[in-house]
Structure 1
Amino acid sequence: MAVIVVVTGTDTGVGKTVTTAALAVRSGPGTVVVKPAQTGTDEPDVRVVARLAGCEVAQFTSLEDPLAPDTAARVRGVGIPPISAHAARVRELARGHGTVIVEGAGGLLVRLDTGGGTLLDLAADLAQDHPVLVYVVTRTGLGALNHTELTVGALRARGLEPAGLVLGAVPQQLGLAERCNRAELPRVTGVPIAAAIPEGAGALAPEDFRKQVKSWWS
């Protein structure tokens, strides 16, 4: 049975896409990366992943404005698929792949459809009949502890134990908060740090990116 990996973040811009690409490299052949909803960008996240990881990708919904998917749909007066449709398409991909990696939009509770469905709902739905690993991508600086605890708490409330935390963009020069949070994040959440991805990793040449992925993982 295929493993489904869900990549969520504590916020937007924390490094989910680069983390997704790194997970795709780590997962190896037979991996497909899915973006259920993409909003407002010149370069879709799946294109970034395909370039860095060289894997198969799929994007279900594209919306023009840089907003949460449900808001972007309402602004344009368009319909978007419900979570149940996303789940069905992910399951279909799982039948032909060893690993399906699902990258969310923004944080865990950002609405992916106009009915209130979130990435958390999608992950809980998929976990009914597939092994689901959830990675939480977070910042290293101020605010990371609170945002990460809230995200982990929301996952646990639905019976989903995070597989690990990922530091999505670790700066070369660490300040006091960044140094402390490396120890504090696993302490306050009870979730280990699975990877620390350096800031700027997404700008690496694909060959260099793929070579370095292993060194970022714990």
Structure 2
Amino acid sequence: MMTEEYKLVDAPVQQPLSMHPKKFALWLFIVTVVMIFAAFTSAHIVRQADGDWLQYDIPQMLWVTSGIILASSITMQWAYMAAKKDKFEQVKLALSITTVLGIVFLFGQFQAWGQLVDQGVFFVGNPAGSFMYVFTGIHGAHLVSGVIYLLYMLVSAFKYKVHSKNMLNMEMSTTYWHFLGGLWIYLFIFLLLNH
């Protein structure tokens, strides 16, 4: 009877892919928001094809707010990079600027609604106007949550709780803020092409 010898080969042990539960929840939320806006934009296209669609000019303020949201994404990235290098004063400054820009963006969106009203575009009366208010309103509501998160991060930064050894919330707030900026740019381009 022959016996076979088996040698165990030292193979590297592969670690399972893992993600912090809070990050997973954030990404799940982001996917949900993407699906909501995908449904809204597809509903917009379908409804627009039905006719009786009000033609209106995109409020000029939306150009300004688009620039503001892009600038805020840059300052948010600056805050993130400064936190990784433990540059506490830069973190506080960059988060402060980002928070102010977020609030200015919201104020600008409200001004854009005023420009729509000046054109005779209201929430009720024509689906074109309704979609514009829904897109900007729901995005604005999400941006309010982003500003609240920024305020939390700002308080944490002033307590020196944002640093290279404690980056989870900084990573999450940066991801969420970039997402909100990217979502707005998508919506703005969509509205430019389909108003």
Q: TM-score higher than 0.5 here?
A: no
Length-normalised TM-score, structure 1: 0.26
User: Greater helix share, 1 or 2?
Assistant: 2
User: Greater strand share, 1 or 2?
Assistant: 1
For the pair shown, which has the larger CA radius of gyration, 1 or 2?
2
Length-normalised TM-score, structure 2: 0.28
